[in-house]
Each structure stands twice: as C-alpha cells, then as structure tokens.
Amino acid sequence: MVTKRCVTCGRETTDYVSFKCPVCEEEIVRCETCRAKGNPWVCPTCGYTDG
C-alpha cells in the first residue's frame, strides 16, 4: 500500500485519489475525506486551484 499526502488537508493517507495538475502535470493527491467534502485543492508546484 502506498501512502500519499493530501494536498488539501496535509494528512498522509492510503485512501486517496490522484490525478495530474492540468497546468504543470504534477501529481495531485486528495484524501477520500476531502474528495467527499468537495474541499478545494491547490497545486503545490504551480499554485493552480480548482476553486
């Protein structure tokens, strides 16, 4: 199992979804909690946000 750090809440989690930033293609990781709540994310590399 791989542990990743959620970009929204900063928690390390194994229950996450990941996708690429549309701008810089950095991997974006969101934990299931933040995904379910619809919490906005910010790319840690380029600062792009979906919110």
The binding site for Zn ion (CB under 5 A) comprises: 6, 8-9, 21, 23-24, 26, 31, 34, 43, 45-46, 48
Q: What is the DSSP letter of 49?
A: B
H or E element at residue 20:
strand 16-20
Shortest distance, position 19 Cβ to Zn ion, whole Å = 11
Count the neighbouring beta carbons within 10 Å of the beta carbon of residue 16.
Answer: 21
Which is closer to Zn ion, CB of 4 or CB of 43? 43
Which is closer to Zn ion, CB of 1 or CB of 36? 36
Shortest distance, position 2 Cβ to Zn ion, whole Å = 16
Closest CA to 36 of 13, 48, 27: 13
